[in-house]
Structure 1
Amino acid sequence: MQLYVGDLVTSYSWTDRELKAFRRVTLAPGERTAVAFDLPVAACTIVDANANRFVEAGEFELLVGHSSRREDLKRTVITVK
């Protein structure tokens, strides 16, 4: 499983989404399991023109799935204040 974070409204040019965590999960056919990620606020950093990383308040998109293709990812939005 892969976890991506994207800043929905940013004051700097930023990537569409950035890989923040992943877990390799091996399952038998038809088998299911739960996968959990701990995501600190620091995972929502962006980079300014001087290469400084900081967290900007606003809405962030969390995307989780088995590949990086948008159609394979489940999406939710969180707010950082």
Structure 2
Amino acid sequence: MGRISADLVDPHGTHLADALPKLRSLAEYAQAHGDAFGRIEAVAEIEGQLRVLDMKNDVVQAGVHAAQNAESLYKAAPAY
């Protein structure tokens, strides 16, 4: 039988000084509680396109922890 799950979609920006710390906190939350959600994503508009970070993805989580700034993360993310 199917399962109902909640999604976490967090609108972010890169213009504030706390953008990267917030992404790191969301990555840590996804590591600890990701199984309770269908998806956990951070979304930002970069150069007129929406970019999405899949925070449940291990590679994305590692990238967030290694990043020097939030904008570089979003520029590497898929555009919609």
> TM tier, shorter chain?
under 0.3
Counting strand residues as a fraction of each chain, which structure ranks higher?
Answer: 1
Task: Kindly name which structure, 1 or 2, has the bigger radius of gyration based on alpha carbons.
Answer: 1
Counting helix residues as a fraction of each chain, which structure ranks higher?
Answer: 2
Task: Give me the TM-score of the superposition, normalised by structure 2.
Answer: 0.26
